[in-house]
Structure 1
Amino acid sequence: MATFVKTPSGTWKALIRKTGWPSQAKTFRTKRDAEDWARRIEDEMVRGVFIERSTSERLIFSNALDRYLAEVTPSKKPSTQRAERFRAAPLREFFGAYAMAAISVDLVARYRDQRLTTQSPRNGVTGTLSPTTVRLELALLGHVFTMAIKEWRIGIVQNPVQSIRKPSPGEGRDRRLSADEEKRILAAVDGYSNPMLGLIVRIALETGMRSSEITALRLPQVDLARRIVRLAYTKNDSARTVPMTRKAQSALAAALANPLRPEGCDLVFFGEPGRDGRRRPYNFNKAWNMLKKQVGLADLRFHDLRHEAVSRLVEAGLGDQEVAAISGHKSMQMLKRYTHLRAEDLVGRLDAIGSKQGR
């Protein structure tokens, strides 16, 4: 049975003691509120579904997010760690002062709607955030709650992110390079002061490798004689071997022969030493963004080069399985998003088929 005590300040304190359950106490403005709370808690104990909520009522979201970033994020890939710290900023700004127990489905839905209308500059153009960006932020928020419920055991009844409608991911980009655009961007990167940038862009266009895969390359991974690159660590955790075209072989040969390579550095594309004296992969993002704007291609993303390379493999006649082996796509559905064939190329191939059939 619950007992109720009026405090000197005029509030009412409810105290519940039940065999087999931890004692529960909470203070309310009125006795009726105290009785309603006690009745609900005792009913949950009888039904065996009671959850200790006091921890979640005291834990502030910003503290929970800090714990997640300190304990969970470091176990992920470096690129994922950087992305999660970036996505954590808007979550902290919106939810930071709320107790975990106070973050409801309605509140999460309000965050989703607000973010979908947020203006953000990208590639020199200001527009609303993409649905994919908002989906990834919600995924991080949802995993913070999952960890709080399953591992930290802080007494949250439900994960509010699971009950809201997620933004549609859309159809994906279909940005292709025209011959003139390719000529302009290659001229720009070739004229840059650091020759590594031009080599990286050419390798991306010839192999379809991701920027992180290219910049993380080390000397033992490159076999110029056999014209292959061995990738042990990739975005989807599947090792693969990438064949080189003649142009890719030439670009990698030039990179390996770089006369400025420091002694003992096995990175193919190396940056300046950090404060700790270690050399890390060459970070070309600032130079890339500057040069593409200078040649009027502000909307071009580096990942579009991978898209272009994979599409060209398909246009060259390689089968889906062959292209997937090179690009590393695990599913044909994901591969399809990158293989937008030019309609004019398909017309030529249809004509060739028709001539063979005597049409």
Structure 2
Amino acid sequence: MATLVKTPSGTWKAVIRKQGWPTAAKSFRTKRDAEDWSRRVEDEMVRGVFIERGPSERTNFGAALDRYLAEVTPTKKESTQRAERLKAVPLRTFFGKYSLAAVSPELVAKYRDHRIAAGKKPNTVRLELALASHLFNTVIREWRIGLVQNPVASVRKPSAGEGRDRRLSSSEEKRLRSAVSAYSNPMLRWIFELAIETGMRSSEITGLTMRQIDITRRIVRLSKTKNDNARTVPLTQKAKDVLAAALANPVRPDDCDLVFFGEPGRDGRRRPYNFNKAWLGIKVQLGLGDLRFHDLRHEAVSRLVEGGLSDQEVAAISGHKSMQMLRRYTHLRAEDLVSRLDDLRKR
């Protein structure tokens, strides 16, 4: 049975002591509220479903997010860590001062609609909600901070949308190749050519080490990939020539194993060559602001399909886990299929 005590400040404190359960206590403005809470908690204890909600009411979202970024985020890949810190900014701004218990599905839906109305892309909002959802799952399953359910789980997420269909025209490719070839650092041209020839992600290319490359067998072994699945990428003759030139780079320091290396940092370590600034400058110069470097991967994968490789063969090269994802990243030009249709008619 609950004990109700009137405090010197005029509030009512309810205390519940039940064998097999931790003592539960809470203060209320009125005796009626204290009685209602006591009955609910005692009923939950009888049914074996009671959860101490005090910690979730005392912990705000901002504090939980800080703990997540300090304890959980560092266990992930560096690229994921950077992405999560960026996604955390709008989440903190909107939810930061709310207690965890006060974040309801209605509030999460309001956040979703607010971000979409602000012009953010649906996939951006979807990924932000995914971070919030994992935070709440961690709070419930690992930290045990007294939440009954994940408020993000029941909210409709924005659609990821269709994959980008940006393809390079022959004139764009020619202009880009001319611009990157004219750039002072030849590594930019080598990276550009490898992206189109192999379909590797930019991080996979810039992270290449010399021991991953087998020029004789014309393969590259990737151990660190976006989906954590190691794979071996075959090299076209052109890709082989590009990598051979990169490996023969006369300015590479003797103690550097990176194929594409940057200047030493403050700690004296060399990290992968950061070509983003140069790439963005060339895009602006050529008037190709809508082109992303990742579109070169789309272009490469689409060319593999157009060249007659099967979906399984293309997936083995590109590293896509499912045929559904492969289709999102593959866009065939109708005009490129015309001759193949004619060939079919002649059979």
State the TM-score, normalizing by the size of structure 1: 0.94
Partner of 1:93: 93
Please state how far the C-alpha of 1:193 moved relative to its aligned partner: 2.1
Where do 5+ consecutive residues of structure 2 fail to align?
none
Question: Quick check: 245-254 or 294-303, which moved more?
Answer: 245-254
Partner of 1:39: 39
Q: CA RMSD in A?
A: 1.1
Please state how far the C-alpha of 1:319 moved relative to its aligned partner: 1.4
Please state how far the C-alpha of 1:198 moved relative to its aligned partner: 1.1
Q: For 2:282 and 2:213, how far apart are their aligned partners in 1?
A: 28
Partner of 1:17: 17
Please state how far the C-alpha of 1:85 moved relative to its aligned partner: 1.1
Partner of 1:106: 106
Q: Deviations over 1:297-355 (max 9, x none)?
A: 00101110000001001111111111111111121111111221110111111112212
Q: Which runs of 4+ in 1 moved over 4 A?
A: none
**Alignment pair present for 1:154 and 2:156:** no
**Alignment pair present for 1:65 and 2:65:** yes
Q: Pairwise mapping of residues 1-359 of structure 1 onto structure 2 (< 5 A)?
A: 1-118=1-118, 128-355=119-346, 357=347
Q: Secondary structure at the match of 1:161?
A: coil
Q: For 1:129 and 1:250, how far apart are their aligned partners in 2?
A: 42
Please state how far the C-alpha of 1:222 moved relative to its aligned partner: 1.1
Q: Secondary structure at the match of 1:337?
A: helix
Question: Quick check: 4-13 or 36-45, which moved more?
Answer: 4-13
Please state how far the C-alpha of 1:79 moved relative to its aligned partner: 1.1
Question: Quick check: 332-341 or 143-152, which moved more?
Answer: 332-341
Please state how far the C-alpha of 1:23 moved relative to its aligned partner: 1.4
Q: For 1:310 and 1:90, how far apart are their aligned partners in 2?
A: 34
Q: Secondary structure at the match of 1:229?
A: strand
Please state how far the C-alpha of 1:263 moved relative to its aligned partner: 2.0
Q: Secondary structure at the match of 2:13?
A: strand
Partner of 1:122: none
Q: How many residues align?
A: 347
Q: For 1:77 and 1:36, how far apart are their aligned partners in 2?
A: 48
Q: For 1:8 and 1:231, how far apart are their aligned partners in 2?
A: 69
Q: Deviations over 1:250-277 (max 9, x none)?
A: 2111111111111200000001111111
Where do 5+ consecutive residues of structure 1 fail to align?
119-127
Please state how far the C-alpha of 1:205 moved relative to its aligned partner: 0.3
Q: Deviations over 1:43-92 (max 9, x none)?
A: 11111110011111111211111111121111111111111111111111
Question: Quick check: 142-151 or 239-248, which moved more?
Answer: 239-248
Q: Which amino acid aligns with 2:164?
A: R
Please state how far the C-alpha of 1:282 moved relative to its aligned partner: 0.8
Q: Secondary structure at the match of 1:236?
A: coil
Question: Quick check: 100-109 or 30-39, which moved more?
Answer: 30-39
Q: Which amino acid aligns with 1:114?
A: H
Q: For 2:72 and 2:254, how far apart are their aligned partners in 1?
A: 36
Q: Deviations over 1:190-240 (max 9, x none)?
A: 222221111101100000000010000000111112211111111111111
Q: Which amino acid aligns with 1:293?
A: V
